[in-house]
Amino acid sequence: MSEPTSEFARRIGSRVAEPGPGGSTAMWSVSHPIALHIATFFAVGPLVTGLMLGQVGKALGGLGAIAALQAAAWLIRKGRLAEREYAARTITRAPPPRKLAGTALVGLAAFSLSALGAGQPVILGLVAAALMGFAAYLTYGLDPRADKGLDAKLADRAGLKTEAVLAALEEARAKVRTIEAQARGLHSRELKDRLARITRSAEAVLAQIEKDPGDLRRARRFLVTYLDGTRDVVSGYRAQQQDLADTPLADNFRHVLETVERVFEEQREILKRNESLDLEVQIEVLKTQLEREGVH
């Protein structure tokens, strides 16, 4: 489900630069599966010994265990972040089974280290794999399986289907992530901070829509206009920021972001009060701002 490029996106994007390819951003957290990184050190010994003594099986066993444990740590960390996001959402799809895949890799690492690195019989390697996989399961759990759908009463009242709401929210969040990725390439700390506030406000609006999907019909045009426009102008400015620094167009870019930030905050408060989004008025506010700044 996609919308045509907004008037805001066409007008401001054409003056700054053509929109570049979208990016993606990952959530970062300190909640790494540290135990798996520590366990990796136990595989270094067989790898080094195997290399020094020319024991190919031992070296391969150590190397395989290191690779499997690092991949497992990455997958489980991603799975935990996805689980956290899943828990915070009212309406969302179940995340991919990353923690399950990580648990399987922990078992594979144990088998590789036991059967190849230590030269144990295959049956003992399988026992080690089962025990370590089960330990990983007890430690990290499994991924959520069920999608979170619309409440039946809310769906009837809003006249919407879960898939339609999910698609609209995912589309909007993809644009927010692109804006975040583009913002990281800006040199100005002020502009980065302002875009961070804009994306937080956009996420708050989306969270409110999750709680009351009836707001989606009123919010969709607003979100498309502002998110598309912000994404495109940030992309264009980022591509030419060295040439545009300390020019009138750089000031215009800053003023437009000020308008976007203010309007997002206003619409967030309107939704919190269960009032109708002032779509036409606010879109006209933005157009007037573009005219005044000469960005058209």
127 lies in a domain? yes
Residues 108 and 244 in one domain: no
Residues 51 and 115 in one domain: yes
First and final CA of the chain: distance in angstroms?
27
Judge if 211 and 284 occupy the same domain: yes
The 3 state secondary structure assigned to 71-84 is HHHHHHHHHHHHHH
136 shares a domain with 206: no
Using the CB atoms, write b or e for 67-82: b if 16+ within 10 Å: bbbbbbbbbbbbbbbb
Output the pTM of the full model. Answer: 0.59
Going residue by residue through the chain, which has 296 residues, state the pLDDT in tens, using 9 for 90 and above.
Answer: 444 444 444 444 444 443 333 333 333 344 578 889 888 888 888 888 888 888 888 899 999 999 999 999 999 999 999 898 888 877 778 889 999 999 999 999 999 999 888 888 999 999 999 999 999 999 999 999 887 766 656 665 666 677 777 788 888 889 999 999 988 888 888 888 989 998 988 888 888 877 777 767 767 777 777 788 788 888 877 877 676 666 677 777 788 888 888 888 877 777 666 655 554 545 555 555 555 544 44
Whether 54 and 178 map to the same domain: the answer is no
Instruction: Please tell me whether residues 172 and 205 are part of one structural domain.
Output: yes
In a domain? residue 29:
no
Q: Which domain holds residue 93?
A: 34-140
